[in-house]
Amino acid sequence: MSQERNGVITMKGNPKTLVGPALKAGDAAPDFEVINQTLETITLASSKGKVRLIAAVPSLDTPVCAIETKKFGQEIAKLPPNVQFYTISADLPFAQKRWCGAEQVQVTTLSDHRKLSFAQNYGILIKDLRIHARAIFVIDANDKITYVQIVPEIAQEPDYDKAIQATKQAAGAK
């Protein structure tokens, strides 16, 4: 039975229940199985040896998620080449591809709609909605989590500066 956590996040002020572990910096990054826009399976090992900056969002078709994905999309070009950026949501891969094309955003989007394995393994599955909480994870090249931010109110943006700084630090850049 999966662990349930209350009081971690709210949606428009209403508390939501998260399913999965409360991960923290120093923990081993759990594996996951998601799909990309061409329906290929992607796992943690797919980017082995790279630093991963993962932005989990509820849905790209919402204003805050769109703003967040665009902001990170602008920042990834400034990151070291050993960094892989992913935006993960429970949106269908076709919807993700449509959104990226319509918004002219070039980021790697991954869909967790099939198994919700990322959401469950990383403790950010919103139980009653079957979507992701807004969260940032930085995973180093050795598959250790070095930074976690679960945004307390789903309608708020994450702390971009801290996420980028943590990514640069994990990548050995200043």
**Cβ-Cβ contacts under 8 Å for 46 (sequence gap 6 or more):** none
Contact (Cβ atoms closer than 8 angstroms) between residue 22 and residue 55: no
Residues 6+ away with beta carbon under 8 Å from 88? 34, 54, 55, 56, 57, 109, 110, 111, 112, 118, 132
Query: Annotated catalytic residue: which of 18, 42, 60, 65?
Result: 65
Q: What is the C-alpha separation between 116 and 18, in angstroms, rounded?
A: 13
CA-closest candidate to residue 111, choices 56, 157, 159, 70: 56
The residues with which 148 forms a beta bridge, in sequence order, are 137
Q: Is 65 a catalytic residue?
A: yes
Residue 57 is classified by DSSP as -
Just list the catalytic residues.
Answer: 65
